[in-house]
Amino acid sequence: MRRSFVAALALTLGLAACSSGGTTSGPTASSTGIRPSASSGPPTGSGPSTGAGTATSTASPQGSSGSATSAQTSFAYVPLWPFGSVAAAQAWQREAAAGGHQPWRLDAGEVAVAFARQYLGFTEIDHVVRRTVTADDAHVTVGYTVAGATGTAGVIHLVRIGSGAGRPWEVVGTDDTVTFSLTRPRYGSTVAGAITVGGRIAGVDESIRVTARQPSGIVAGYCCLPAGAPVLWSVPLRLPATLTGPLTIVASTGGHLAAVERFAVTGVHSGR
């Protein structure tokens, strides 16, 4: 979730070197846009099956792991977690090289599960179902277990961030699926004030909750929108006027087997 925006930005970088806030209620609108995912080149059609539907994919700037430019200063995606910027990732790299901590940040699967459990607060999501990892790009399906059966909740997209060797993984979004998507607002756009969040959902007796998050916590929320069957969904969300920096928009649904059974996130920039 920005086709022309991310495609143009990814191509430019490639040639160069290569979510506690208020709750509103009320509700549908059509939407466009796609979550960032793995492929090289401009945004195109569908990507790999996620186990929860067919993922949609768009461009990911590629480079070789450990051979990135020695002083990366820009990033083609919205940095969501665990780092808020390239500089923060580079600072962690320096600490790690000096005997620092948190080596799990070098494992895409561990970062994906921690993102769901720690940052989003979806504590029932506790393991990796499957993963597709290349040198610089990863798509990790995370899930939960109920009565011995595994459910898939979301496909988290991660890319390498930082400089040189030992670049950590950064969450930049999720893959949309045919059963649940979050395509509005457009990925990478700048948002402020009253916005509309939406996508598509399929299912029975669903209840969609939407939050906007930053590292400090939830900054805005909407609960909840009843939904079911294949349908477009949308809700209003009002953001605080003082927000700045990257913002994670989160949509989730559940309540049948687990509190959160499916989720999707998109990244935007807050501010005017």
Q: Which domain holds residue 259?
A: 3-270
DSSP character for 25?
-
Q: What is the C-alpha to C-alpha distance for residues 86 and 265, in angstroms, rounded to an integer?
A: 20
pLDDT along the chain (272 residues), means of 10: 37 34 36 35 27 32 34 84 96 90 94 98 97 97 92 97 95 96 97 97 93 96 93 97 95 93 97 78
pLDDT of residue 73: 66
Which residue's structure tokens are 């929860």?
A: 52
Give the pLDDT of residue 202: 93
Contacts of 175 (CB under 8 A, 6+ apart): 35, 37, 47, 50, 55, 56, 57, 139, 154, 155, 157
Handedness of CA 244, 142, 138, 112 (dihedral sign): positive
Model-level pTM?
Answer: 0.75
Quick check: bond before 185 cis, omega within 30?
yes
Structural domains counted in the chain: 1
